[in-house]
Structure 1
Amino acid sequence: MSVLVVVAVLAIVLVVAGVVWGIVALVRRQAYIRSIRERGWNFVNTPTWDSVARLSNPPFGIGFDRKPDDQISGVTAAGRSFQVIEYKSPYWSGWVGMVTLSRRLPELWITGGETTPRYGVLAQAVPAPPQLGPGWQVGTMDPAYAQETMSPQLCRQLTALAAGQPGVNLSIDGDQVVVLDPPRKDLDRLAPWLEQLGAIATSIDSTPLDRWIQPEPARRLTFYHHPDWNWIGVDDSLLQFAPVQRGGSNHRTSDVVRGRDGDGPPFVAFEHHWTTTRTESYTDSNGNTQTRTVTEHHSEPVLGFQLPVRMPPLTVGRKGLSRGIEFESAAFNKQFAVFAQDAKYAYDVIHPRQMEYLMAAQGRPFRIEQDWVWFSPGEHSQPAIAHCSLYLRGFLGRVPRFVWRNLGLPDTPYPAIESTPVG
């Protein structure tokens, strides 16, 4: 038998095996979905954003590309609503199970056994109750809230849940008790697991926590610890005034976010996409010279903060080939290049205390153009926006009061803060 015949036979076998495997997987999936519905539960192949709109703590509330997938929902024997859903983002992917609480409460994180805290969590670690035993961790933004929530009854329920799985990764997210990695493949295990989760929710509901009730949030895509950020998605009108690349064609925006942090300036952030074409020559298989059109796709992150008043042009960036304005600090001059049309204005704004801040914060380059501050963030991401927001807030808070008054404001719009972002 020739080599070509062997290769052809193997290819046919692989194709047939693939088709058979696809059929088996489809049959198994349909049987799984049928079993879900026979229990009185619902199954949605492609759930909408409403399925996770109320959730803002990790793994939710982080990143721009968030994808809910297969969803199981229903009611426990005690009448408590639940859902088990697949969720994917750039920072985490997997399955999540949750049951509903009677109140919206602050975030609380509880991990035990063979698990680790979730990516992006900003909570403070506090001592776990001794009833839980070794290996448990508790995180919160307010230790008093954690102490009131971690009742002996809740500790018993958590211990019971941990007995049936290698690790527990649980949180309170608004009016949901959320646990990662539910046993969703085995419905005979999933049903009692959900009842255990319901018992945990009952323990929390029975604890007097009304003073911790949180307000109802807007129904929109949320960002963890950034309640005033709003997801826009697409807004090509931004290209009319933002300092983007103007060459090429097919200009568009994606992942547009607007918002602000506290008393800082409002921002707009997005990814700018465009294409360019060029003609190149090549030699074909016959040795003839031909030409072809090549299309290249480009993108750049754009991040701008709007100021309450127009300011003179000023650029603050890393030291490069251009020297920039020389300041009295040799260490600052070695790291930074500052450019301004008015050197005196630059000296007023970049004073010794400001230089110390800029060197400590190590922020991204930025330039002030009229009433906007435009950053070179390096990437379009939630951490980059948050870092630049805090970095700029610290910079503006150190601009002297007389500078703002000279620009026409009665006083500084940004009181001084001591926070210094790192990285």
Structure 2
Amino acid sequence: MSSTTVVVVLVLLVAAGIVWGIVAIVRRQQYIKSLRQRGWTFVNSPTFDAVARLGNPPFGIGFRRRPDDQIMGRTSSGRAFQVIEYTSEHWSGWVGMVTLSRRLPELWITGGQTQPRFGVAATGVPSPPQLGAGWQIGALDPAFAAEVLTPQVCERLNAMAAGQRGVNLSIDADQLVVLEPPRKDADLLGPWLEQLATVADAIDSASLDSWIMPELPPRLTFYHHPDWHWIGVDDSLLNLPPVTQSGHDHSTSEVIRGRDGDGPPFVAFTHHWKTTRTESYTDSEGRTQTRTVTENHSEPILGFELPAWMPWLQVNRRGFGRGISFESEAFNDQFAVSAQDAKFAYDVIHPRQMEYLMANPPVGFRIADNWVWFSPGQHSHLTIAHCSAFIHGFLSRIPRFVWRDLGLSDTPYPPLDTAVLPPA
């Protein structure tokens, strides 16, 4: 191919790209105009407040959450609705929702060729006969599902599913949420929203006042962890012991604080820093030169604050080192325990504790002063939840006399039934 031909091809490609871009812009403007002609509002870059009240998947999971194009308005019956593009680490797509008259517990209704949502933790309950085959129902309390799924609600759900590949619907507080609405065409989206509003009408007509949930402040929430709080950045945490101190330009991101129930409070974040070095190289003329190379680094930090100072103790999966020897060879083969005080280690790692550790092998962790520091490997919602459940179970198995020796009047963590922990 000659150079002239190459130039012509490149010019044609650039021209085609420009034409495609112009067509895309025109189509987008026509689409936005069609929305506004219906009296709806279109927001190109909504703030996080648009989804801050939502806490169930696809919301409420992950640290990188981004709302995009947003459509707002009211149905013909005056019911407020929102259709919004949403992206997180675990899901990306469009979500449509209408407002309910009450804040209600979570409920999951999936029918047709759709899959349950990522991260949902609910109990499967039988589908009522009125819904027919092919529906999956999930709820934290089966009694709530039974009271929601009245014959009227089932009739509206079947009508909504007719002619569609499937319906993926949930109750998220005072919002009735459905994945993947037909948002590309306003002439399709309008009737779809009207139909969704009829489902909301039927739910509002059900006797559900005994299930009303309290109002919560609008903020970034975490699914099934109401006491977790998004901080974002807190560089005062850079002085904590596990943070790497070498290098320069240290910073924090995705800082989370919180606790689960009466377990120990935690802090979790990503630590970023840079290192700079000078290296030699040979240039194209054979001369030795030097250059400065800067590398970016990051590490996840996860710590749980204790109510008392404790001697240093470390628990890792067995590697080359064996650590302190315990009476269980099965435990010794699986774990390596090191401690500042061997008696303290034997008091804490007793036979019942060994059984717990072997049944729920944690990532490595160490007790240092009044903190428990994990080596999580990644900074994620699921990892924090798993470590939080694990350490609560671990601490609840420490005998009362140990806590009293540490200066407390009794154990701060009552026994828990934590035979099975949530997945990491």
Tell me which interval the TM-score lies in, with the shorter structure as reference length: over 0.9
Gaps of 5+ in 2: none
Counting only pairs closer than 5 Å after superposition, residues 275-286 of structure 1 correspond to structure 2 as: 275-286=274-285
Distance 2:86 2:41 in 1: 17
Gaps of 5+ in 1: none
Amino acid at match of 1:289: T
Counting only pairs closer than 5 Å after superposition, residues 223-234 of structure 1 correspond to structure 2 as: 223-234=222-233
- Listed one character per residue, the Cα deviations across residues 134-180 of structure 1 (whole Å, up to 9, x for unaligned) are 10011000011000100000011001110132100000000000000
Q: CA RMSD in A?
A: 0.9
- Listed one character per residue, the Cα deviations across residues 273-297 of structure 1 (whole Å, up to 9, x for unaligned) are 0000111111212222211111110
Counting only pairs closer than 5 Å after superposition, residues 19-418 of structure 1 correspond to structure 2 as: 19-418=18-417
Amino acid at match of 1:30: Q
Name the SS for the 1:409 alignment partner. Answer: coil
Name the SS for the 2:249 alignment partner. Answer: strand
Moved over 6 A (4+): none
Amino acid at match of 1:396: L
Distance 1:171 1:297 in 2: 41
Distance 1:218 1:400 in 2: 39
- What is the TM-score of this pair, normalised by structure 2? 0.98
Name the SS for the 2:325 alignment partner. Answer: coil
Distance 2:14 2:241 in 1: 51
- What is the TM-score of this pair, normalised by structure 1? 0.99
Name the SS for the 2:196 alignment partner. Answer: helix
Name the SS for the 2:371 alignment partner. Answer: strand
Name the SS for the 1:403 alignment partner. Answer: helix
Name the SS for the 2:306 alignment partner. Answer: strand
Distance 2:343 2:281 in 1: 56
Amino acid at match of 2:138: G
Distance 1:164 1:233 in 2: 44
The Cα shift of 1:323 comes to 2.0
Name the SS for the 2:64 alignment partner. Answer: coil
The Cα shift of 1:7 comes to 1.5
Amino acid at match of 1:189: L
- Listed one character per residue, the Cα deviations across residues 375-415 of structure 1 (whole Å, up to 9, x for unaligned) are 00110000000000001011001000000000000000001
The Cα shift of 1:322 comes to 2.3
Distance 2:406 2:241 in 1: 23
Distance 1:10 1:359 in 2: 65
Distance 2:307 2:413 in 1: 10
Distance 1:182 1:356 in 2: 49
- Listed one character per residue, the Cα deviations across residues 356-391 of structure 1 (whole Å, up to 9, x for unaligned) are 100110111111111100000110000000000001
Distance 1:108 1:392 in 2: 30
Distance 2:240 2:266 in 1: 14
The Cα shift of 1:188 comes to 0.5
Distance 2:93 2:63 in 1: 17
Amino acid at match of 2:68: D
